[in-house]
Structure 1
Amino acid sequence: MSSPPVTKTTRFWAGVMFFVLVLITVALATAGVYRWLNDAQRLPVQTVVFQGELEHIDTARLEDLIRAAQPGSFFALDVNEVYALLEQQPWVYRASVRKQWPNKLTIYVVEQQPVAHWNDDLLLNPYGETFAGNNELDSLPKLYGPGGSEKTALQGFNAMQTILSGAALPIDELFLSERFAWQITLANEIKLNLGRQEFIDRLQRFVDIYPLLKAQPRAVEYIDLRYDTGLAVGWVDDSKTSEKV
């Protein structure tokens, strides 16, 4: 007794079933590999290494944040997400992230360099960019100004400090008003009112005459330099009066 002939329809459906079985096998294998790769117990990230000159950053805290955000295996860890997480941290200025086979994550961090306080609640880096940090850095000068004037205030501070450094007179506080008028308080508590225009020339005038003022028997409280020539001096022992020099 002969077997029934194989028709084109039979061959077609047999091919379809074989193709479906192949797809199912591939899907199951892919799912298995995915589960295996994401099994942190199989291929965990065992070591997180931080590099860079770090003074204010708590690397143990950063590692905890990374592991909490990326709990999967070495293969599943997304370096772009780790990078984004690091860039959100206030003391991180720049960062790079690299995975190293078989279980190591290397992170290079450029830490923020604080140069001044800004409006009592933020810090400024050397580029005039603000960031949140602790306010326990008492040695830093204090800068104040309207929002958006950070770079202007820092540039003015740097220019003034360059002039004052020759006289060993560090700036303790700098105020930039809404009208962009400058006032500074020196570390010796002398207050200087420089106004809006030609504030560098006015500050140089103060430096030139400071040795004469320092030789006086009375201590200087404030100096108003908003004059074309000369300046007005207020003395500590008689703050209600001032003297034009």
Structure 2
Amino acid sequence: MTDQARNSYELWGGVIFLLLIVCGLIFGGVKTYGWMQDEQQMPVQVIDFSGDYRYVNIARLERLIRQSQPGSFFALDVNDVYRLVEAQPWIYRASVRKQWPNTLKIYLVEQTPVAHWNDDLLLNPYGDTFNASGEGLTLPRLYGPGGSEKTALEGYHAMQSLLATAAMGINELSLSERFAWQLELQNGVELNLGRQEFIDRLQRFIDIYPLLATQPKGVKYVDLRYDTGLAVGWKSANGEQSEEES
């Protein structure tokens, strides 16, 4: 065998050997990838929830996650799980991460409901609405036009703090399209505060209410939309109302 033939033989032998190695690596990679994607080989056995929560249905949430991510630990998409979790009504914030070898760890920050909004939504402490069931929750009822959620909640807190000094509380607050304030107190008294100086007007009511409460008739409503004085609607035994200005 000539030197040229020997060199050619060695070259092709090397090429064939290299191709065998490459094919082996590809075959091994495909088998490894298939094994990693196989839920039976590397299942997500544990979904570990943590955080402070009362209203989140953990069993339902885990079921949703497993239905949306039926693959193995390696195939599971953390970003998809994150988006799914944060889309749930009672979830305010969440973090999601994998923990080797078979655990998905999820930390939950739950929405904190502070008021009903327009009978169909709930408000959190930041004035953001969320669409969760408020059935059974004893919360004040706030009403107002769209976009006024934060204004209504801030007004509620300011007036509730003032009323608390007189051992009274707000049951229902309404903010009109023209941003006029109306209240229904927990004792049933209705207040019309108007648009301006509503805190001063509320203080005027607090100052005069002890005198009103001594009257033989119960107070139905108080209209405080006056620079000075007020109008009082009284309850009567036969259900009719009478009004008096002072």
Calculate the TM-score normalised by the size of structure 2. 0.90
> How many Å apart are 1:22 and its aligned residue?
5.0
Mapping for residues 45-194 of structure 1, pairs under 5 Å? 45-194=44-193
> How many Å apart are 1:18 and its aligned residue?
6.3
Contact 1:235–1:242 (Cα < 8 Å) also in 2: yes
In the aligned structure 1, how far is the partner of 2:204 from the partner of 2:53?
A: 41
Contact 1:183–1:193 (Cα < 8 Å) also in 2: yes
Q: Deviations over 1:44-99 (max 9, x none)?
A: 11111111222111111111011111111112222221111110000011111122
Q: Which amino acid aligns with 1:44?
A: P
List runs of 5+ in structure 2 lacking aligned partners.
none
Q: Which amino acid aligns with 1:194?
A: L
Q: Which amino acid aligns with 2:80?
A: E
Contact 1:66–1:82 (Cα < 8 Å) also in 2: yes
Q: Which amino acid aligns with 1:244?
A: E
Q: Deviations over 1:151-182 (max 9, x none)?
A: 11100000000000111211111111111111
Question: 2:245 maps to which residue?
Answer: 244
Contact 2:91–2:108 (Cα < 8 Å) also in 1: yes
For the residue of structure 1 that corresponds to 2:135, the secondary structure is coil
Q: 1:197 to 1:10 in 2, by over 3 A?
A: farther
In the aligned structure 1, how far is the partner of 2:191 from the partner of 2:225?
A: 10
> How many Å apart are 1:188 and its aligned residue?
1.4
In the aligned structure 2, how far is the partner of 1:27 from the partner of 1:207?
A: 82
In the aligned structure 1, how far is the partner of 2:9 from the partner of 2:228?
A: 108
Q: 1:82 to 1:216 in 2, by over 3 A?
A: same
The alignment of Structure 1 onto Structure 2 pairs a total of residues equal to 244
Q: Which amino acid aligns with 2:243?
A: S
Calculate the TM-score normalised by the size of structure 1. 0.91
Contact 1:87–1:93 (Cα < 8 Å) also in 2: yes
Farther-moved stretch of structure 1 (2-11 vs 167-176): 2-11
> How many Å apart are 1:42 and its aligned residue?
1.0
> How many Å apart are 1:8 and its aligned residue?
9.5
> How many Å apart are 1:117 and its aligned residue?
0.3
Question: 1:226 maps to which residue?
Answer: 225
Q: 1:215 to 1:37 in 2, by over 3 A?
A: same
Q: 1:5 to 1:231 in 2, by over 3 A?
A: same
